[in-house]
Structure 1
Amino acid sequence: MSALQPEFRDRPADRAESRAIRSRSMRLLGSLLSPVAAATWLTVALVVLSQVAAVAGPAFVAYGVDHALPALQGGDSGPLVLAAGAYLVTALAGGLLTAWTVRLAARVSQAILLDVRSRVFRHTQRLSLEFHESYTSGRIISRQTSDVDALRELLDGGITTLAQGVLAMVFTAVGLVLLDWRSGLVLLIAVVPGIVLTRWFQVRSQHQYRLSRTAAARVIIRFVETMTGIRAVQAFRRERQVSEVYDDLAEDYRRTNAEAIRLNGVFDTGLTLIGNVTVATVLLIGGLRALHGELAVGVLIAAVLYARRFFQPLAQIGMFYNAFQSAAAALEKLAALLAEEPTVPDPVRPVHLRAPRADVRFEGVEFGYGTGPTVLPHVELHLPAGQTVALVGETGAGKSTVAKLLARFYDVRQGAVRIDGLDVRDIDPVDLRRAVVMVTQEAYLFSGSVGANIALGRPGATPEEIEAAARAVGVHDVIAAMPDGYDTEVDKRGTRLSAGQRQLVSFARAFLADPALLILDEATSSLDVPGEALVQHGLRTLLAGRTAVVIAHRLSTVMGADRVLVVDGGRVVEDGTPAQLVERGGLFAALHADWQRSLGATAGA
């Protein structure tokens, strides 16, 4: 099942899908446990030894009461010293073994969680743009937060608690049967209602905890999407409506958690009742037998201790099942994410692109997003090296799609996109990213200094090279006026850049990368008129001698191109220099006329 499919469901569609999901989850779990297998087996051994030590205590009490005390009355203190010493040694050994178990289990769990987080981050980063445009950022954050936390709750003591609980129950039952089989029989009979109650709890909690995980994920997704789009929310005054939707999701989360807590309360109360009745029954029957001399007092005391001890692990096992259900659901989602394959895979035998000239050809290219309709029906196009080509057309005409194919964010359905005669699907990804740089409308700056953001494409660039790139696009004076110049942190209060300034920084980043093919996808849309005037000279400097594809609605940017392609319905309907297309009187001429009228209106105002 693809992670792009709806996640919020109570159960898989059918048994085959359920088996596939479990198989995928188990493979992931096995791969996580493999590097820590030795430490895991050592933890298991420590758990066994610690429970053996814990179970031995009541037996030593029975020996001390029935044998050591009578021997002490006869003047022999050896048996009492032996019983007390053995009890002390086993108690101390059990405590030390338990402490060792906790530390070793924590080391194993943290190693697994580190592995999971690293895998999710590396894999998500490796996935193609198609995935990130379809899979909401809130869901990815949920994978890294709530789902990993669910695994942490299971691993941090959950598994060791289960192992300790199961072994404690088994060893306690065996010890009591060996000590007095009649008391053991009472205990085994009392297990039946305990198992029934536990099963009742498991069935209901399984459903409830899946609802809880779903509700938690919805709250996270809504919060992330709201905060990401907070400008739109505030611009349209939608705070109240958005809050109402969030409150409904939060209330649903509260209800599911409240129901889960109610189930826990019923389960804990029922187990306590069964345990207390069992202890009372063992004490009553054993006490009557002791009065008739059929049962030693020490054995009766040990039997009561065993009976009281038996049901404590059962409650822990029930609570473990909650964590297990939550972790199992989280593991399914993590496994589904990690099972996603890039739709733009790395080439099996990559070909190096050395000294690229960026001669570009589209040969019979047909493309559509995912399984959707065809966006580019058939494109035949040649962009000679060193030529600046502008793509214009209405929104949705296919201009940005051409740019994404050039940068190989997507692969074509048919045909080929070639750079210097090489299919982009065969070019080494490192060489392709070095040769092709794309600047988009979204000028994203990472936390860190302005200089580090400019040097993103060339981390080893010198301060002089960074400054030269900034000067080329006209952003140097803006940066120099900041408190710390190029060392200014872009996320510090009071030094945030305007949208136009961020775009200029992204320009400087592209300039410094010095690509053979530069793609500008609406990259001047955030520039105001002064900012655009500043960048035009920098653009001319950069574009000289290299291949460039410029997508822009502003004809001021387009008019400086060597060639203009008018795209309509995924097809190139006009091709020529700006002057030629104006003379022909087609779509571009109409756009040019509108632009001239807008300039006249602006001048008149």
Structure 2
Amino acid sequence: MALDSIREDEHSEESLKLATIKRLFGRLVEYKKEVIKVLMLMIFIIGVSVVNPIFIKIAIDTYVVAGDIRGLLMLAGITIVINFLSKIAIKWRIVIMSKVANDVLMKIRQELYTHIQKLSFNFFDKRPAGKILARVVGDVNSLKDVLINGVVTLIPDFLQIMITLVIMFLLNARLAISAIILLPFLIGLMYISEIKAHKKWRIFRKKNSTMNAFIHEDFSGIKVVQSYTAQKKTSEDFEEILEEHKQSFISAIVLNDLFWPIVEISWGAGTALVFYIGVSLSSAGTLEVGTLIAFTAYITMFWNPIMNLSNFYNQLIMNLAGAERIFEIMDMVPDVMDETEAVIMPPIKGHVEFEDVTFGYEEETVVLKNVSFKVKAGETIAMVGATGGGKSTIINLMSRFYNIQEGRILIDRLDIAKVNIESLRSQMGIMTQDTFLFSGSIKENIRYGKLDATDEEIIEAAKSVSAHSFIMACENGYDTKLNERGTKLSVGQRQLIAFARTMLSRPKILILDEATSSIDTHTEKLVQKGIEALLEGRTSFVIAHRLSTIKNADRIFVVDNQGILESGSHDQLLQEEGIYYNLYMSQFKAGA
């Protein structure tokens, strides 16, 4: 799948529409009792609507003609009672189906959300967050009316059409044929239009997704937008995207709106023809007046559900694209997943080994080639080198966020490709420079490292990384509420909270990826003792551009050009006067 940017429409696969429809409505099988109850109510409602014209015929041709007031009043009473019960049944079936539809949507959204969380980084690398959000929210919401009307409209209205058609032919076959003479034309037009309409609605869904992605990215980076006074430019870009969104909707809705006048024309033409023939037959004395009046009522009962079905058909075509986009993601198999016979990772001691590992994020681009190294349990390994050289890639592969193309990665002599992913990652602590804090209290953000941690454990972890003092200085201490990403805190304060979160998790293997890059020198000195305590007794991998922070590492790897170019202690590498020596001296001179 090609890379999707916020300005490009998503690339999605065509799917069989019938298969998508079956899959969507198959969700209702779990609620068969409720569906059957709704169908029984609908049969009663249809029965009442069908007998109403018959009651009119009887009232005119039997009681009115005979002057039987008592019989007419009894018939009127029965009609009022059954129609009142019909109104109650209509309300009841709406309530039942609304609950069912909302429950189905909730489960689809939960399944989709859970499945997306299992997908590998490749999935998220190729999609802006706004486009994923559009599927979880907008596409799922679009299915509500389809699910409700699929039961409330499709089956009952089709049943009403069949029953009404039989009664019309029993009353007068000639009039019945006149009433439905344009129906084949309507069906053919709907079939032809469906092909074009479905494609147009797929385009609209893509444009809607693109619009969501742009809004999400623009507001997430609002500080950059305002800092560079780019509001006018982003507004112009949004106006362009909005125009494309509008035009795609207009293009699709034109075909939908075409059905209404065609159905009404067919309805009107059939009714006019029935009246013409009916009046002629009535004048000739071969058709009773009550029968003609009843027949005209049945025409409405025949064409009204056809109008409803046409509307449902349009609605189905309109929202089927949303269902396709949902199931497309739900059918994606994660690139990184447990093998069938994956074993639970036992308590990690910390021995790490790369055996001829080759990897590239894209097939044509190799980031690491035949990389091999061994790390003893408890060792601290620092990795330095140019940006994009492969330092973070080594960490990502060790955490099994991606699958390697060649070679093996072993932890305690177990191939991590053959162990349960959760049991592996739960014993690793990863601290990156991109500190993400969730909306909630400081305490809740730290507890994310160990969900069952006590308040005492949280405070102890914060103290160990020198975060306790500034937290207590906040308005409500550990209960201070943070907004998304914790933007009300300084960058250094956010880093300290993330350190406390990592400290709380007590990982067997610790990874610090540029973890101190955003902390000022004063704050770094405060947290250094905490970091040393955290590193003690653990296998640790530290990525740092600030070389002064890694002098005490057991070994330093210089990573670049698809592999490890130099390896050794700080003193050893300085004596070799190679790449590390040049890096260190350039920083030393810059800081002098």
- 1:54-108 residue CA offsets vs partner (Å, 9 max, x unmatched): 122111211111112233x2x5733x34533443344234323322322222122
Partner of 1:230: 222
- 1:358-378 residue CA offsets vs partner (Å, 9 max, x unmatched): 111112222222534222111
Please point out which of 426, 431, 451 is paired with 1:434.
Answer: 426
Partner of 1:546: 538
What CA distance in whole angstroms lies between the structure 2 residues aligned with 1:492 and 1:455? 16
**Residues 448 and 489 in structure 1, CA contact (< 8 A), matched pair in contact too:** yes
Partner of 1:51: 46
Partner of 1:62: 57
- The residue identity in structure 1 corresponding to 2:103 is A
Counterparts of 1:379-458 in structure 2, within 5 Å, are 379-458=371-450
Partner of 2:134: 142
Does residue 300 of the first structure (1) align with residue 289 of the second (2)?
A: no
- TM-score of the two chains, using structure 2 as the length reference: 0.93
Does residue 590 of the first structure (1) align with residue 585 of the second (2)?
A: no
- Greater alpha carbon shift after TM alignment, 3-12 vs 494-503: 3-12
Partner of 2:70: 77
- CA shift, 1:547, in A, is 0.9
Does residue 38 of the first structure (1) align with residue 38 of the second (2)?
A: no
What CA distance in whole angstroms lies between the structure 1 residues aligned with 2:170 and 2:572? 102
- 1:20-57 residue CA offsets vs partner (Å, 9 max, x unmatched): x754x357426523322332343334333322321221
- CA shift, 1:350, in A, is 3.7
What CA distance in whole angstroms lies between the structure 2 residues aligned with 1:413 and 1:516? 26
- 1:221-242 residue CA offsets vs partner (Å, 9 max, x unmatched): 2211222233333344433222
- Greater alpha carbon shift after TM alignment, 361-370 vs 111-120: 361-370
- CA shift, 1:487, in A, is 0.7
What CA distance in whole angstroms lies between the structure 2 residues aligned with 1:111 and 1:355? 41
- The residue identity in structure 2 corresponding to 1:113 is L
**Residues 182 and 270 in structure 2, CA contact (< 8 A), matched pair in contact too:** yes
- The residue identity in structure 2 corresponding to 1:433 is R
Unmatched tracts of structure 1, length 5 or more: 601-605
Does residue 467 of the first structure (1) align with residue 462 of the second (2)?
A: no
What CA distance in whole angstroms lies between the structure 2 residues aligned with 1:426 and 1:10? 33
**Residues 495 and 515 in structure 2, CA contact (< 8 A), matched pair in contact too:** yes
**Residues 276 and 308 in structure 1, CA contact (< 8 A), matched pair in contact too:** no
Structure-2 change in CA distance of 1:341 and 1:194 (3 Å): closer
Counterparts of 1:189-588 in structure 2, within 5 Å, are 189-196=181-188, 198-199=190-191, 202-491=194-483, 496-588=488-580
- 1:98-123 residue CA offsets vs partner (Å, 9 max, x unmatched): 22322222122112101101101110
What CA distance in whole angstroms lies between the structure 2 residues aligned with 1:113 and 1:306? 37
**Residues 407 and 437 in structure 1, CA contact (< 8 A), matched pair in contact too:** no
- Greater alpha carbon shift after TM alignment, 422-431 vs 255-264: 255-264
What CA distance in whole angstroms lies between the structure 1 residues aligned with 2:15 and 2:318? 16
**Residues 56 and 90 in structure 1, CA contact (< 8 A), matched pair in contact too:** no
**Residues 440 and 520 in structure 1, CA contact (< 8 A), matched pair in contact too:** yes
What CA distance in whole angstroms lies between the structure 2 residues aligned with 1:231 and 1:545? 41
- CA shift, 1:413, in A, is 1.9
**Residues 12 and 325 in structure 2, CA contact (< 8 A), matched pair in contact too:** no
What CA distance in whole angstroms lies between the structure 2 residues aligned with 1:591 and 1:530? 23
Matched residue SS, 1:224 = helix
Structure-2 change in CA distance of 1:550 and 1:33 (3 Å): same
- The residue identity in structure 2 corresponding to 1:55 is V
Partner of 2:95: 103
- CA shift, 1:490, in A, is 0.9
**Residues 47 and 160 in structure 1, CA contact (< 8 A), matched pair in contact too:** yes
**Residues 198 and 321 in structure 2, CA contact (< 8 A), matched pair in contact too:** no
- CA shift, 1:247, in A, is 0.7
Identity of aligned residues (%): 33
- Greater alpha carbon shift after TM alignment, 31-40 vs 358-367: 31-40
What CA distance in whole angstroms lies between the structure 1 residues aligned with 2:457 and 2:209? 45
- The residue identity in structure 2 corresponding to 1:437 is G
Question: How many corresponding residue pairs?
Answer: 590
- CA shift, 1:190, in A, is 3.6
- The residue identity in structure 2 corresponding to 1:474 is S
Partner of 1:603: none
Unmatched tracts of structure 2, length 5 or more: none
Structure-2 change in CA distance of 1:409 and 1:92 (3 Å): same
What CA distance in whole angstroms lies between the structure 1 residues aligned with 2:108 and 2:540? 41
What CA distance in whole angstroms lies between the structure 1 residues aligned with 2:160 and 2:560? 74
Matched residue SS, 2:409 = strand
Matched residue SS, 2:350 = coil
Matched residue SS, 2:481 = coil
**Residues 383 and 559 in structure 2, CA contact (< 8 A), matched pair in contact too:** yes
**Residues 4 and 127 in structure 2, CA contact (< 8 A), matched pair in contact too:** no
- CA shift, 1:167, in A, is 2.5
**Residues 25 and 147 in structure 2, CA contact (< 8 A), matched pair in contact too:** no
- The residue identity in structure 1 corresponding to 2:378 is G
Structure-2 change in CA distance of 1:374 and 1:131 (3 Å): same
- 1:554-595 residue CA offsets vs partner (Å, 9 max, x unmatched): 112222312101111121111111111111100100011011
- The residue identity in structure 2 corresponding to 1:35 is E
- The residue identity in structure 1 corresponding to 2:28 is L
**Residues 61 and 290 in structure 2, CA contact (< 8 A), matched pair in contact too:** yes
Structure-2 change in CA distance of 1:28 and 1:55 (3 Å): same
Structure-2 change in CA distance of 1:232 and 1:279 (3 Å): same
What CA distance in whole angstroms lies between the structure 2 residues aligned with 1:295 and 1:485? 89
**Residues 3 and 336 in structure 1, CA contact (< 8 A), matched pair in contact too:** no
What CA distance in whole angstroms lies between the structure 2 residues aligned with 1:322 and 1:11? 22
- The residue identity in structure 1 corresponding to 2:106 is L
Matched residue SS, 2:275 = helix
What CA distance in whole angstroms lies between the structure 1 residues aligned with 2:273 and 2:32? 44
What CA distance in whole angstroms lies between the structure 1 residues aligned with 2:252 and 2:125? 35
Does residue 88 of the first structure (1) align with residue 80 of the second (2)?
A: yes
- TM-score of the two chains, using structure 1 as the length reference: 0.91
**Residues 149 and 312 in structure 2, CA contact (< 8 A), matched pair in contact too:** no
What CA distance in whole angstroms lies between the structure 2 residues aligned with 1:476 and 1:398? 35
**Residues 447 and 458 in structure 2, CA contact (< 8 A), matched pair in contact too:** yes
**Residues 173 and 187 in structure 1, CA contact (< 8 A), matched pair in contact too:** no
- CA shift, 1:441, in A, is 1.3
- 1:393-416 residue CA offsets vs partner (Å, 9 max, x unmatched): 111111001001111112222222
**Residues 209 and 322 in structure 1, CA contact (< 8 A), matched pair in contact too:** no
- The residue identity in structure 1 corresponding to 2:532 is R
What CA distance in whole angstroms lies between the structure 2 residues aligned with 1:202 and 1:396? 49
- Greater alpha carbon shift after TM alignment, 534-543 vs 342-351: 342-351
What CA distance in whole angstroms lies between the structure 1 residues aligned with 2:18 and 2:212? 25
